[in-house]
Amino acid sequence: MAMRAVALAAVLLLALAAAGGASAATLALYNRCGETVWPGIQPSAGKELLARGGMQLAPGHATSIRLPAGWSGRVWGRQECKFDAAGRGRCATGDCGGTLYCNGAGGAPPATLAEITLGSGSGAPAAQDFYDVSLVDGYNIPIAMTPVHGSGANCVPAGCVSDLNRGLAVRGGDGNRVVGCRSACAAYGAPQYCCTGNFGTPQQCKPTAYSRLFKSACPKAYSYAYDDPTSILTCSAGASYVVTFCPHRR
């Protein structure tokens, strides 16, 4: 427990040092898994591409990225990746088109997502950051998202650290190891699961048995497309964020 606390403190200091001050936002990525994780980063439309959209992160390692003002996008972890010297290859989960550097592409489900929209700091609601951990694209790696130097009643850690790799399971390259759990939308494609067609509004698209299982295991994570009221968190603009893969691993 003490070593975990020291490691997290080191990552928080890394985030703050890279930010160069409380007014600059930083995203720190920390791999506490027992194996390598390949984070993917996808900007929202019109936003800057960061770190070419992907990287390799060895167990116990962390990296920090300066976030441009007003940036929004998502981060996820890829598993069991194999790339050649040119950065071409495949991942068992979260693959973004067979390349190390996602270059703006998203990850293939299942993938646990950490999502963020930075506020501009120029008056409400722009003075707030919005962030969440989402299971809408399924689940592959436990993730925690921790704000640093943020304030507000709803400025608290987000995440999904329960083991959801059961049910609609996805297996790794050897066919034996379960590496992810698909969402009902990805598994069945039906409008009532994907919140599309006649189910394309919050009034029509309601929680399903599958999304309720996700929500029960991870109350602070998005379980389906319209899970906003219990899943979106906010911090004062200018906070930094630490995304930790496998946060509860000893």
Q: Which of 126, 230, 143 is nearest to 180 (CA)?
A: 143
Compute the radius of gyration of the chain from its Cα atoms.
17
Residue 1 confidence (pLDDT)? 39
Q: CA 119 → CA 48, 122, 234, 239, distances in Å?
A: 15, 8, 10, 10
* Secondary structure letter of residue 32 according to DSSP: -
Residue 21 confidence (pLDDT)? 47
Structural domains of the chain, ranges and CATH numbers in brackets: 2-245 (2.60.110.10)
CB 10 within 8 A of CB 4: no
Alpha-helical regions (H) of 34-119:
none
Sequence-distant (≥ 6) Cβ neighbours of residue 245 within 8 angstroms: 29, 30, 31, 32, 33, 37, 39, 57, 77, 141, 142, 143
* Secondary structure letter of residue 52 according to DSSP: G
Residue 6 confidence (pLDDT)? 43
Residue 136 confidence (pLDDT)? 86
For residues 44-65, one letter each, b for 16 or more C-beta atoms within 10 angstroms of the residue's C-beta and e for the rest, the string is eeebeebeebbbbbeeeebbbb
Residue 202 confidence (pLDDT)? 83
- Point out the residues of the chain with pLDDT beneath 70: 1-23, 121-126, 162-176, 178-179, 228-230, 249-250
